[in-house]
A and B are shown apart, each in its own frame.
Chain A
Amino acid sequence: MDAAESLRLAVRSIRGHKLRAALTALGIVIGIAAVITFVTLGASVKAEVVGQFDDSPANRVFLVATPSDDGGPPAALSQPVFTEHDVSRIGEIEGVDRVVPRGTIATSALTHGGETVARDQVTATTPALFESVTFREGDAFADAGSGAACPAEMVVTPSAAALFPGNLSVGDQVSITQRGNRTRNVTVVGVLGDDAGLNPLAGFGSQPRFYLPTCAYDTVVTSPTTGTRQNVFPQVTVVAANPGDTAAVQDRVQDYLEAESDATQLAPGSYEVSARTNEDIVERIENVVDRLTQFVTGIAVISLLVGAIGIANIMLVSVRERTKEIGIMKAVGATNRDVLQLFLVEALLLGVGGALLGVPIGVAGGWVAVTYAELPLTLPLVWVGAAIGIGLVVGVVSGLYPAWSAARVDPIDALRYE
């Protein structure tokens, strides 16, 4: 019997039990839809997060101190270990154009013109952060410089400016309430352009941010090398003079960090001080998102498994019910193989049919989830193809035993069966 004929006969028998076939396939529909939904969500999260990092220029090396076994986003967990001594020494390394330290100042609120906005932190950094960044208005604050008075100036991102009614603009006075109720009055000297990079490690991002000079920074430590009290930063960005040298700069910075930096001496035992490029970080983030996606998809696969058992169950019932038909087919010349093929094709149709229905539902589910999470939709097309393959495999595997037991039916008994 050729395949087309067994397909025709299988379609016949599925049509004979439309509701039952629909309910059986529903198990696979739900399983496949769940897998596709979660995989789509995972792929979209990954594309979004990684996309932010891809915006960063290739000549950046990020210095962080994170737990050694951590695979996660490093910036959030980074410890303040990089002293001013480290920053100036790294600045002297060959191929380094500039070094931008960043740290956070704990705050409770910002006030402007009678309007108070609660913020738990502002960022302290150097004017070097704003090199090659466009300003919508104004410019970077002055270099803190040693000895000179700390400039009472602030740079804000457009979304930060928008936190206040009528938007902050250059020349506005802002009063910052720091931890311990100390108040610092600053003047806005620059508002960044809307197209300033979105890389969270580069310091901008889409979230509202306020930048103060490093002289306003208040996290200090005694430098083990120089013995003096110095500012100490959790994050440092090293900009290579030539993007082609980034890897070499990364190596030299890493060597310095390991050999003689304050950072290594200050880092807690289980922490690792490292210099990472964009690629390293992207890879790490991808790993985390992948692991999460795998976990959730694993749960969805269980529902697929339940669907497969449903097919096996209904096929076994079907074999029992059609014992007489099997006897008739054998009496008129069907071989065991023909019967096996017939039932296998039927199970396969249920599996593939379920998968084909599950794909659009899963894509729709993924779209809803992604829309809800306000992410751009990234469709994992490979998975859409894989879903069909999975449906096929599920059909064959779940149909194998029922089909085999159908093939073994004794025609003499079967013809007597009522």
Chain B
Amino acid sequence: MTGDVASAEQPAVELDAVSRTYTRGEPVYALDDVSLTLARGSYTAVMGPSGSGKSTLLNLVGCLDTPTAGTVSVAGEDVTALSAGQRARVRGQEVGFVFQTFNLMPRLTAEENAALPLVFQGAARAERTERARDLLDRVGLGDRTDHRPSELSGGQRQRVAIARALVTDPAIVLADEPTGNVDTETGERIMALLDDLHAAGNTILLVTHQRSIADRAERIVRLRDGEIEGIDAVDPTGAA
């Protein structure tokens, strides 16, 4: 980070003419020439039917996958040129994942799960604990730090996952159907939490197939067959 001014100007994520092709007998274009910029502090939803390339887009931004063509920049850094080890570092520092199935480590407590990304950054124990407790407080789980995932409800697990996603203060939070595995009421609370995070200045990329969920974002990117079909701005006054 070179300072607040530079980081404010720089987009959180930039995809430039990105294609991702899989070869399964014949080539499959999972993403075809997609360009997209996510400004810092923005809240973007990606919608589309299954097979439209939503997951591929998420994996590319999250440095889990590399494009066949084009470049992906995260926090100003071209991640397509990086080695596997360097991409792991970017993943740990600049990207926070929130999954549909929570994906918590079953044997670790809420606090240890939230602190896990910092473990791989080599952060000191005291710092990790403080940071994880702080974030669990923010997501309303300050009294559940010693519980294991099996002792938590679905909504609580997802909040632990959100705390984990935020623990390294990433450039972008990637939320993949975050309400897909919880009931409507709990889903509403998780969406409210994402609203809060957005209000607090976090950049969010949300993948969903539900229009009502996508409407919480500032804009909606519609994907179809690996291409951007359209980008709609959401009228904030129209939101519930």
Contacts and interface: CB of A to CB of B under 8 A. Distances in A.
Interface of A: 1-2, 5, 9, 12-13, 15-16, 324-325, 327-338, 411-412, 415
B84 interface: yes
A24 B1 CA distance: 48
A202 B216 CA distance: 102
A333 B74 CA distance: 14
A92 to B, nearest CB: 84
B99 A333 contact: no
Interface in B140-178: 164, 168
Contact of A334 (B65, B88, B104, B108): B88
A415 B122 contact: no
B75 to A, nearest CB: 14
Interface string B43-75: 000000000000000010010110000000000
22 contacts: A1-B120, A5-B119, A12-B107, A15-B107, A328-B116, A329-B105, A331-B62, A331-B64, A332-B91, A332-B117, A332-B120, A333-B88, A333-B117, A333-B120, A334-B120, A335-B84, A335-B120, A336-B84, A336-B85, A336-B88, A337-B85, A415-B103
Given A324-B103, A328-B103, A332-B164, A12 B108 contact: yes
B120 A329 contact: yes
Contact of B91 (A13, A16, A324, A331): A331
A9 B93 CA distance: 21
Given A327-B103, A330-B88, 6 more contacts: A12-B108, A332-B92, A332-B120, A333-B168, A334-B120, A412-B65
A16 B93 contact: no
A412 B58 CA distance: 11
Nearest to B120: A333
Contacts of A15: 107
B107 A329 contact: no
Contacts of B92: 332-334
A341 to B, nearest CB: 11
A335 B107 contact: no
A327 B105 CA distance: 10
Given A2-B122, A415-B99, A332 B116 contact: yes
A335 B103 contact: no
B89 interface: yes
Contacts of A16: 107
Given A13-B107, A332-B164, A333-B117, A412 B59 contact: yes
Contacts of A324: 103
Contact of B93 (A325, A328, A333): A333
Contacts of A12: 107-108
B121 A328 contact: no
Contacts of B62: 331
Nearest to A336: B84
B223 to A, nearest CB: 18
Nearest to B121: A333
A329 to B, nearest CB: 7
Interface in B10-67: 59, 62, 64-65
Contacts of A415: 99, 103
A275 to B, nearest CB: 70
Which 7 residue pairs of A and B lie closest in terms of their CB atoms, listed nearest first? A333-B92, A335-B88, A332-B117, A333-B120, A334-B120, A328-B103, A335-B85
Contacts of A13: 107
A411 B85 contact: no
Which among A12, A333, A335, A415 has the highest number of chain B CB atoms within 10 Å?
A333
Contacts of B119: 1, 5, 9
Contacts of A411: 64
